[in-house]
Copies of this chain bind each other. A is one copy, B any other.
Amino acid sequence: MEHSYTLTASCPDRVGIIARVASFIAEHGGWILESSYHSDADNGCAGRYYMRVQMKADSLAFRLSELRQRFAPIAEELQMTWRVTDSAVRKRVVVLVSKQGHCLYDLLARWQSKELDVEIPCVISNHDALRGFVEWHGIPFHHIPVSGDNKAEAFAEVQRIFEEVHGDVMVLARYMQIIPPDLCAAYPVRIINIHHSFLPSFVGARPYHQAYERGVKLIGATCHYVTADLDQGPIIEQDVIRIDHSDSVDDLVRYGKDIEKTVLARGLRFHLDDRVLQHGCKTVVFR
């Protein structure tokens, strides 16, 4: 993987945005590896503009801090919400799990093989079941039980650890606990959940039972950012698998796991590659 910087930005749409940004990059010798643009203009009225530009780090005459400094006036002029990330700085992913291990095995397989080029500073769980597996990989494991009584303290501890390890993103890999609103608010578009249904169908608990009762012919999973509204956050990725009348609820759960882990891994990767931009209650995903 080549060393690169990635600029992601959104701003009010107008004439000349690409020209302004691309000219700035070209003036400094920046070699563009990949660039994507999206205007959400609907019905002819001007809307908001979204972009992602990835450039070779070595093609620029200066370093990241100076790139940010020089770009700031342009961003201000265009009223941009923006950020530049450095491929050499590996993101820090804190994984939260419960007792089911299928998403965790999947994520650690990708991490182990360097397909997922991130740091996993720790795994947090409300159960102790997966400690051995996590620790065998050399990753610290924190057991923080959650009960009706200690919810506030438990999530304060989760947040304390996340801060302590300088977490960039929190991944709920079938964590099965509802994140309190203040924690959601503390990390907007930084908490990623995998919900075991094709949202907006079957929100809440026991979606496979709901799917079975309704007699749907496909089931799915949804990777989304967590907000205070349960299962209502911006969707990053979804997929489905075909089932039929011969499948029991247990079969649905089993098929569902394959979709859950794949959709979580794809959604997380889009996030880590800075391909996801929030767009109100939706997302722009530059694949």
Contacts and interface: CB of A to CB of B under 8 A. Distances in A.
One complex includes copies of this chain to the number of 4
A201 interface: yes
Interface string A17-30: 11110110111011
A256 to B, nearest CB: 11
Given A108-B105, A215-B235, A283-B215, A15 B31 contact: yes
Contact of A16 (B26, B200, B238, B254): B26
B42 A29 contact: no
Interface residues of A, number: 78
Given A106-B105, A198-B201, A216-B238, A25 B29 contact: no
Interface stretch (A67-75, A150-158, A184-192, A243-251): A243-251
B22 A18 contact: yes
Contacts of A126: none
Contacts of A34: 37, 39, 246
Interface stretch (A78-86, A164-172, A257-265): A257-265
B108 A113 contact: no
Given A19-B22, A102-B110, A105-B109, 19 more contacts: A15-B26, A15-B30, A15-B59, A34-B246, A35-B37, A38-B245, A100-B113, A101-B113, A102-B109, A105-B112, A136-B136, A198-B198, A201-B201, A214-B235, A215-B282, A215-B283, A218-B239, A242-B242, A245-B282
